[in-house]
Structure 1
Amino acid sequence: MTSYPRYAIYYAPPTRKPLARFGAALLGYDALSGNDVAFPKDAVAAAPDWHELTQDPRKYGFHATLKAPFALAPGTTEAELLAACADFARQPREIPVIKPAVHGISGFIAVVPAERSATLQALAQDCVEAFDAFRAPLSAEDRARRKPETLTPRQVEQLDRWGYPHVGEDFRFHMTLTGRMTDSRQRPILAMLRARFETLALTSVAIDRIALFKQDDAAARFRVIKQDALTAR
């Protein structure tokens, strides 16, 4: 059985920046403030059921996963996790910079890097490893929820080692904008989202911070409880 509260280490763009406003509006939720946000009119025009279409990603807020959600390991505390986030951020490192693009992946639409970044892959794996001491072991229920029968042998191994299958070579940075949909339905929505994204004129995004998100219980949305700026080497 899943234990609560749950925590996650995510990337979330700085509040009040165009990318943060873009994602919060499309999901209808700002995880930084904890407030609902009105949907853009063009999104609702493209999909009258936009509220339902974004229901799943809304629960998590606009983010990219670096360390997937976990309950705290026995003997660890939220205060210790907060301190570990600060310690991690103080370690000098190369800051990943991506060229963002909007693409369909695995049936949903997300903001992703236009090109694979070894620096970003390394940051994600560092997060996976650095915070694993705070992760409670997966319950049988949580492991089953990941559908290991659909995973590759390597992903099953990663699920059992790190509590999440999509790490290492299987990690793909993405900031989800919609739930899953059929290819035919995705095409016009993808076109609308790309047109909206182009108005931001974002040629690069620095992945220069980590955010600690918290979910109080199964019915609650994740919210940001702390952000730490990474230290550039």
Structure 2
Amino acid sequence: MRYAIYFTPPSGDPLSKVAANWLGRNPFSGEAVKTPVIRSFETEEIARLTVEPRRYGFHATLKAPFRLDEKFTERDLLSALMHFASSAGPVTIPRLQVAALGHFFALVPDEPLPELDQLANDVVVAFDRFRAPASDAEKARRRPETLSISQLRNLEQWGYPHAFEDFRFHMTLTGRVEEKDRLRVARILDEFFEPVLNEPVDIANLALFIETRPGAPFEVHSLHPLAMPSLTGSGTGAGRKKSA
């Protein structure tokens, strides 16, 4: 079993609904969602593009998937997560945009947010004691030969290469997209997500996701509200409209 600490909007949030429709799975219920019909885009192509992010569910990584150290139980992890959330404040992303990150596409903030980067840094450090050391096979899956020096250092120390100065908040929408297809895929993603991109997104919870067995889909175990008032003055009251 592996655990991960992610951000994902509540299940009823419009962004969650649109993302589940695109990815083809609801990580809260674990149920498949019918693949959308998009003109000039084959259903099979959408299914192929989303096969990897579908397994992980719509999310932004804060603490990458890890096996629990044998010194701890799931109850210990949950207790620490609730305590951390009660002492951390929400962050509001004014607007998301579709962006290409290397060979894949994701939703990212359209402006730098140092307070969001700091929240991610704090999560990485606070929960590392629960992480069992990465095995050689787990490290190999990160393709260390492709990583920078700082990413290799992060992989060794924190079990994940994209932390601290190498962190970028993103919510993955596709797997690898061939260069010849990227302009077309970008255009379709912009159109598909356009109805929800102009609404602010409140990072107002931490989500515990669980992979029950190797290769199984990740599912939401629980959401933990960030309870401390925002120091930036942009708390949950400024966020997106919730559906009825």
Aligned: 1:8 with 2:4: yes
Structure 2: distance between partners of 1:12 and 1:190: 22
Q: C-alpha displacement at 1:47, in angstroms? A: 5.7
* 1:13 partner letter: P
**Sequence identity, in percent?**
42
* 1:54 partner letter: T
Structure 2 spans left out of the alignment, 5+ residues: 230-244
Cα 1:26–1:74 change in 2 (3 A) is same
The 5 A counterparts of 1:1-233 are 5-42=1-38, 45=41, 48-93=44-89, 95-200=91-196, 202-233=198-229
Structure 2: distance between partners of 1:109 and 1:232: 32
* 1:210 partner letter: L
Contact 1:43 1:50 in 2 (8 A): no
Contact 1:85 1:228 in 2 (8 A): yes
* 1:56 partner letter: E
Structure 2: distance between partners of 1:38 and 1:223: 18
Q: C-alpha displacement at 1:182, in angstroms? A: 1.4
Contact 2:106 2:170 in 1 (8 A): yes
TM-score by length of 1: 0.94
TM-score by length of 2: 0.89
Q: C-alpha displacement at 1:203, in angstroms? A: 3.1
Cα 1:208–1:44 change in 2 (3 A) is farther
Structure 2: distance between partners of 1:44 and 1:122: 41
Structure 2: distance between partners of 1:96 and 1:203: 10
* 1:112 partner letter: V
Structure 1: distance between partners of 2:225 and 2:39: 32
* 1:12 partner letter: T
What SS does the corresponding residue of 2:207 show, helix, strand or coil? strand
Contact 2:93 2:109 in 1 (8 A): no
Cα 1:127–1:144 change in 2 (3 A) is same
Q: C-alpha displacement at 1:97, in angstroms? A: 2.8
Structure 1: distance between partners of 2:151 and 2:215: 28
What SS does the corresponding residue of 1:65 show, helix, strand or coil? strand
What SS does the corresponding residue of 1:59 show, helix, strand or coil? helix
Structure 2: distance between partners of 1:96 and 1:199: 18
Deviates more, 1:45-54 or 1:11-20: 45-54
What SS does the corresponding residue of 2:57 show, helix, strand or coil? coil
Q: C-alpha displacement at 1:232, in angstroms? A: 3.3
Cα 1:53–1:201 change in 2 (3 A) is closer
Deviation per CA, 1:131-186: give whole Å up to 9, x if none. 11110001011112112121111111111110001000100111111111112212
What SS does the corresponding residue of 1:87 show, helix, strand or coil? helix
What SS does the corresponding residue of 2:157 show, helix, strand or coil? helix
**RMSD over aligned Cα, in angstroms?**
1.5
* 1:57 partner letter: P
Contact 1:99 1:204 in 2 (8 A): yes
4+ residue runs over 4 A deviation:
none
Q: C-alpha displacement at 1:73, in angstroms? A: 0.5
Structure 1: distance between partners of 2:201 and 2:95: 6
Structure 2: distance between partners of 1:206 and 1:160: 32
Structure 1 spans left out of the alignment, 5+ residues: none
